[in-house]
A and B are shown apart, each in its own frame.
Chain A
Amino acid sequence: DIVMTQTPLSLPVTPGEPASISCRSSQSLLDSDNGNIYVDWYLQKPGQSPQLLIYTLSYRASGVPDRFSGSGSASDFTLKISRVEAEDVGFYYCMQSMEFPYSFGQGTKLEIK
């Protein structure tokens, strides 16, 4: 199974400041046939279900503000928030959708300073 490792696990951020979350996979998530990298990012706000933010490395899901962006390489990924807002608090998870079983990172808790 592919293991996803996130850092940091806790991220205090001042509103208006940028934030960055890293995720690393134990195997490459690059599909050499089409160049897609199958990593996705979710935000779970307090008391809510996870919501899709980014899919296939860098595509923003519908309705997601453009302050969220995804980037990375075959096994090293980053979610960036250009300017954190109060509504961005919650747990962020990376997930690999390269192969079954899909697997998630441990989660990163973003909180406002």
Chain B
Amino acid sequence: QITLKESGPTLVKPTQTLTLTCTFSGFSLSTSGVGVGWIRQPPGKALEWLALIYWDDDKNYSPSLKNRLTITKDTSKDQVVLTMTNMDPVDTATYYCAHSEDAGFGEFPDYWGQGTLVTVSS
């Protein structure tokens, strides 16, 4: 059974750096074809894809946020960490992590965490 859970601060101040951790179980991020990504959703708005890291440490970022994002993995701990620098109130959102895997029919987020709401305010 694949599960993911996000953790991190619920409140950050403008200009601070946000660090979110995704702790997962039921799969290994050292298995070929497996990835873990981050998606966010501002209150009342649509989903926005942020970043993805693969089993081989290949990474992809949203171009609009690439300068502010870093995604890393710790396979021994079954965790993926997302850092976002220079936080702004517009970054207030629920942040989700999700599992993806290339099974020959595409690669897409199939299992999602419950999400964590991050508010940016002074």
Give the interface segment out of B13-21, B82-90, B103-111. B103-111
Interface size grouping (class) on chain B: 20 to 34
What residues make up the interface of A, taking CB atoms closer than 8 Å to B?
1, 36, 38, 40, 42, 44, 49-52, 55-56, 59, 61, 93, 95, 97, 100-107
Residues on B lying within 8 angstroms of A by beta carbon are 37, 39, 46-49, 52, 60-64, 96, 105-110, 112-115
Contact at A100–B108, with CB atoms within 8 Å? no
Counting residue pairs across A and B whose Cβ atoms lie within 8 Å, the total is 61
Please state if B46 and A93 are interface contacts (CB–CB under 8 Å).
yes
Q: When the two chains form their complex, are residues A101 and B47 in contact, meaning their CB atoms are under 8 A apart? A: no
Bound Cα distance A61, B46 (Å): 22
Q: A38-B108, A107-B47 are in contact. List 12 more A-B contacts (CB 8 A).
A: A49-B96, A49-B113, A49-B115, A50-B39, A50-B96, A51-B112, A52-B110, A56-B106, A95-B47, A100-B60, A101-B64, A102-B108
A106: chain B residues at CB < 8 Å are 46
B37 (CB) vs chain A CBs: closest residue: A102
A52 touches B108 (CB 8 A): yes
In the complex, which residues of chain A have a beta carbon less than 8 angstroms from the beta carbon of B113?
49
Closest residue of chain B to A91 (Cβ to Cβ) is: B46
User: Does B49 contact A55, Cβ atoms closer than 8 Å?
Assistant: no
CA distance A55 to B98 in the complex (A): 15
Task: Given A49-B114, A49-B115, A52-B109, check contact A104 B63 (CB 8 Å).
Answer: no
